[in-house]
Amino acid sequence: MVTTENTRVALITGASRGLGLVIAHVLAECGHALAIGGRDAAALKTIARRLSQRAPVLAVAGDITDPAVRAHLIDAARTLGGLDVLVNNASELGPIGPLAAFDVPTFGRLFPVNVGAPMALTQLALPLLRARRGLIVNITSDAATAAYPGWGPYGATKAALELLTRTLAAELDADGVAAVLVDPGDMRTRMHQEAFPGQDISDRPLPEVTIPFWKWLFAQEAQVIRGQRFVAQQEDARWLQPA
């Protein structure tokens, strides 16, 4: 593993598969050293070995709601030299179904994963991000802004994340740290398949469809895009969406 003081560093959660893996590949291609996290230790090890052919990689396996896992991820970024980009991608869908029958205690799992963990990791990352005038990317969903039957609990977590992200963008402006929201759109992922058990979702695009967007985003000046909300599957001029 070789890094220099000029090496850009990115931290991506939920990077062992799906969208997180796509983002990790794009950032490696863009020349970033990578700290990657995921719950599947075996898959993460395989991915880290693959990515290390392009860039320095440190992998931390574990649940992002675990404070020790978050601390290890920040330590990995520090070992690589700092932090320029934090991508809070790890998320949990939870059960799909009407609110009238929703198991309310399940909120006790969804909010810590989808809202609490990203905020806690961001807090830990801020000293490194301030030093590099870095970028925070929080992954959202159109379920945060639309009342899709059955998707209320998941959508509620993403709506909360959106408000917190916009607030972060305002609060961190003076520090030179930017925060943005990205809705990757409907994709053929394991999490999406879990929402439709037994159904054929092969008509959805693979997460690779978002690659042009990520290449564009990571080429932008962080302060220019601060506080914005993007939709990754739109055409260039339409990526930016009203916050």
Q: Any idea which residues carry the catalytic annotation?
A: 154
Sign of torsion over alpha carbons 119, 229, 8, 13: positive
CB 94 within 8 A of CB 140: no
d(CA 155, CA 84): 28
d(CA 169, CA 136): 9
d(CA 141, CA 153): 12
Sign of torsion over alpha carbons 131, 217, 160, 119: negative
